[in-house]
Amino acid sequence: AQSVSQHNHHVILSEAASLELGCNYSYGGTVNLFWYVQYPGQHLQLLLKYFSGDPLVKGIKGFEAEFIKSKFSFNLRKPSVQWSDTAEYFCAVSSGGGADGLTFGKGTHLIIQP
């Protein structure tokens, strides 16, 4: 069975600080990796995804993530956060076939202080 671990449940940063949210997964085979974001009062939406190819993927709103296969990690980064980045962030993995759905981590609640 797959599992996803997000290291920090709550993160508080000041505007313009750099962000890195950790995500590790356990699954030995081919994986697809995702970061989803949920802004206050809104639905879950996709930030970025990795299927294959370049392990450094860029998403919306200046976010990027790096897939490190040897470390089973897919950390999310942003060089300079804004107050509008305050949200819940979820890392998720699928085995690629699609029929088993996404396995999500517990989420990281990010608060950006102005």
Partner 1 sequence: ETGVTQSPTHLIKTRGQQVTLRCSSQSGHNTVSWYQQALGQGPQFIFQYYREEENGRGNFPPRFSGLQFPNYSSELNVNALELDDSALYLCASRRERGLNTGELFFGEGSRLTVL
3-state secondary structure of 71: helix
What number of residues does the chain have? 114
Residue 8 or 18: which CB sits closer to partner 1?
A: 8
Residue 59 as a binder of partner 1 (CB under 8 A): the answer is no
Candidates 14-22, 59-67, 74-82, 91-99; binding stretch for partner 1 (CB under 8 A): 91-99
Residue 28 or 98: which CB sits closer to partner 1?
A: 98
Conformational region of residue 4, where left means phi above 0, alpha means psi within -120 to 50, and beta covers everything else: beta
Identify the residue among 28, 29, 40, 42 touching partner 1 (CB under 8 A).
42
Residue 102 as a binder of partner 1 (CB under 8 A): the answer is yes
Residue 15 or 100: which CB sits closer to partner 1?
A: 100
Using CB atoms within 10 Å of the CB of residue 7, give its burial: 0 to 12 exposed, 13 to 18 middle, 19+ buried.
middle
> Among positive and negative, which fits the CA dihedral 58, 72, 8, 33?
positive
Alpha-carbon span 60 to 74, nearest angstrom: 16
Note the residues at the interface with partner 1 (CB under 8 A): 4, 32, 36, 42-46, 49, 51, 90, 92, 94, 96-107
